[in-house]
């Protein structure tokens, strides 16, 4: 009986520990440098105070380097996506957005404006 209780307790502990580790890994999966398929900007996604942000790390237009274009993204464990805001320079405003992983080296960034949406695929830069 004691062995059964110990095994059960160990199983529950391992289950919760593994679940927490998996969430942390998935939540941080977007960290790093990314490049859009249609432009030469390199975006650095980083974490600050539990939220994810992205700034222009390299650009042909030097004046945009350092500009924060992704802000206040948080990982939604239910949808396995990140939700936040993305900056649209042509409109000079932030829009609701989501990021989802396609694989380890590809993410999809989608911006929403009312009933319209626009997506871009970004590849990881090494």
pLDDT per residue over 55-84, tens digit each?
Answer: 999 998 888 999 999 999 999 999 999 999
CA atoms lying within 13 Å on the CB side of residue 25: 7
Write out the two tokens for 55.
């700034």
Write down the pLDDT at residue 22: 41
Instruction: Report the CATH number of the 30-125 domain.
Output: 2.40.128.520
Contact 95, 85 (CB under 8 A): yes
pLDDT of residue 17 exceeding 90, the answer is no
Write down the pLDDT at residue 110: 97
Can you tell me the distance from the alpha carbon of 86 to that of 113, in angstroms, rounded to the nearest whole number? 11
Write down the pLDDT at residue 5: 52
pLDDT per residue over 98-122, tens digit each?
Answer: 999 999 999 999 999 999 999 999 9
């Amino acid at each position: 009986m004691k062995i059964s209780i110990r095994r059960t307790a160990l199983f529950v502990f391992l289950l919760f520990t593994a679940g927490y580790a998996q969430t942390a890994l998935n939540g941080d999966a977007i960290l790093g440098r990314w490049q859009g398929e249609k432009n030469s900007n390199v975006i650095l996604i980083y974490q600050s105070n539990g939220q994810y942000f992205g700034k222009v790390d390299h650009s042909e237009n030097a004046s945009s380097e350092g500009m924060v274009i992704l802000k206040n993204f948080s990982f939604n464990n239910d949808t396995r996506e990140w939700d936040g805001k993305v900056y649209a320079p042509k409109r000079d405003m932030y829009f609701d957005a989501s990021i989802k992983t396609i694989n380890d080296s590809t993410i999809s960034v989608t911006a929403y404006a009312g009933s319209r949406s626009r997506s871009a695929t970004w590849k990881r830069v090494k």
